[in-house]
């Protein structure tokens, strides 16, 4: 099974943290402009003015608490350009991401 190596600790977040996580995730998902496939993961793009870098970082902070096997990169392009979130990892992480985040 490709996803077998990935295990998320669902107990790592408290109820209130999980609520906040869901809130952030919904907000961020609503405003995604583009999803790009990478060799070892995916990159998600937002318009600079449409997303708060702090919200992205907060979501990442929570996500990595339960799923520590991801590498994350948050990139803010100059002059209030796009914000990118790259989620990558070891072999097999892509199918996991597709299943977890509904990436097609």
Partner 1 sequence: MGKHQTGSRRDPGGAVFAVIFCVALGFGLWLGARGLPARIQQGKTAAKSETQAANPESSFYCKTKSLSKVEWAHKKQISEKMRIALADRKELANGYAFRFRPEAVSLMELADWVTSEARCCPFFDMGIEVERDGGFRWLKLTGAEGVKQFIRMEFNLDAEETKQ
Residues in contact with partner 1 by the rule CB under 8 A: 52-54, 56-58, 60-61, 64, 68-80, 89-90
Q: How far are the Cα atoms of 10, 14, 39, 91 from residue 85, in angstroms, in the given order?
A: 22, 24, 15, 19
Q: Which of 84/104 has CB closer to partner 1?
A: 84
* 99's tokens: 């299943």
Q: Which of 72/98 has CB closer to partner 1?
A: 72
Instruction: Look at strands 71-76 and 83-88 and give their pairing.
Output: antiparallel
> In the complex, what is the shortest distance from the CB of residue 73 to partner 1, in angstroms, rounded to a whole number?
5
* 53's tokens: 């870098």
> In the complex, what is the shortest distance from the CB of residue 98 to partner 1, in angstroms, rounded to a whole number?
18
Report the sign of the C-alpha dihedral through residues 22, 26, 27, 29, in that order: positive
Alpha-carbon Rg for the chain, nearest whole angstrom, is 14
Q: Which of 89/94 has CB closer to partner 1?
A: 89
> In the complex, what is the shortest distance from the CB of residue 6 to partner 1, in angstroms, rounded to a whole number?
11
> In the complex, what is the shortest distance from the CB of residue 89 to partner 1, in angstroms, rounded to a whole number?
6
Q: Which of 39/104 has CB closer to partner 1?
A: 39
């Amino acid at each position: 099974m490709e996803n077998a190596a990935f295990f998320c600790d669902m107990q790592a977040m408290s109820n209130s943290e999980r609520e906040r996580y869901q809130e952030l995730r919904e907000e961020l998902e609503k405003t995604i402009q583009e999803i790009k496939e990478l060799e070892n993961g995916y990159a998600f793009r937002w318009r600079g003015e449409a997303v708060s870098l702090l919200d992205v970082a907060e979501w990442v902070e929570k996500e990595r608490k339960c799923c520590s096997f991801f590498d994350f990169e948050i990139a803010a392009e100059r002059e209030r350009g796009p914000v990118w979130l790259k989620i990558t990892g070891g072999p097999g992480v892509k199918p996991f991401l597709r299943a977890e985040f509904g990436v097609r």
